[in-house]
Amino acid sequence: MDSVDPADIDRLISQVQEPDDQVFHQLDMNSRSNGERREHALLHAMVVIISDEEKGKDQSGELVTELLTEENFLVDAIVHVESRKSAIRKAIQTAVVGGADLVITVGATGLGSRDKAPEAAHAEIDRKVPGIAEALRSSGLAASSLEAGLSRGVAGVSGSTVVVNLAGTRSAIRDGMATLCPLVRHVIADMNR
């Protein structure tokens, strides 16, 4: 057996290119179009944090990302926007145009004058899915999360993207994500039949 020169190995390794995200996105799209069941495919999500605080202070994006990853979602982006209807709408539109399966807005669902998430989402939704918002409120109350139970959040579909408002407290996020993920998978599977 001939001996292998380490320089040849290094040269070959340097010629192999690492696949970028686009390769993985294309593989995901190919698996979806080859008749594989959608609920087993990797689903793409975008998280929109609505807050008037500085970016570094709000950790809810990391929590939502962690919970989505556990449910086999790929979080393409976490976007921080001010609580202005136009900024929230633009973030939702970005997710829809970008092909996200799910966009979750976090925060600004209460009764305060700066709480604009439900109005912004409502303006972008083509078809309402009130059962999702009702389930989030119901499970929130059952878990003693008043913010979730009293949330004015809405849910629906814009194009082929599910849009959901979540209240911004940790308990509302944790409980809401446990309730939300199976419902979203069902809605996405239903849309792709």
E-strand spans in the chain? 43-50, 73-81, 102-106, 127-128, 155-158, 161-166
39: confidence class by pLDDT, cuts 50, 70, 90: very low
Of the listed ranges 45-54, 102-111, 134-143, 171-180, the one predicted with least confidence: 45-54
> What's the pLDDT tens digit per position in 79-137?
999 999 999 999 999 999 999 999 999 999 999 999 999 999 999 999 999 999 999 99
Interval 151-168 mean pLDDT: 97
d(CA 188, CA 132): 13
B/e letters for 45-59, b = 16+ CB within 10 Å, e = fewer, are: bbbbbbbeeeeeebe
5: confidence class by pLDDT, cuts 50, 70, 90: confident
CB 167 within 8 A of CB 54: no
Determine the pLDDT at residue 20: 66
As separate numbers, helices (DSSP H) first and strands (DSSP E) second, the chain gives 8, 6
The residues, ordered by sequence, that sit 6+ positions from 140 with a Cβ below 8 Å of its Cβ are 146, 147, 148, 149, 151, 167, 171, 172, 175, 176
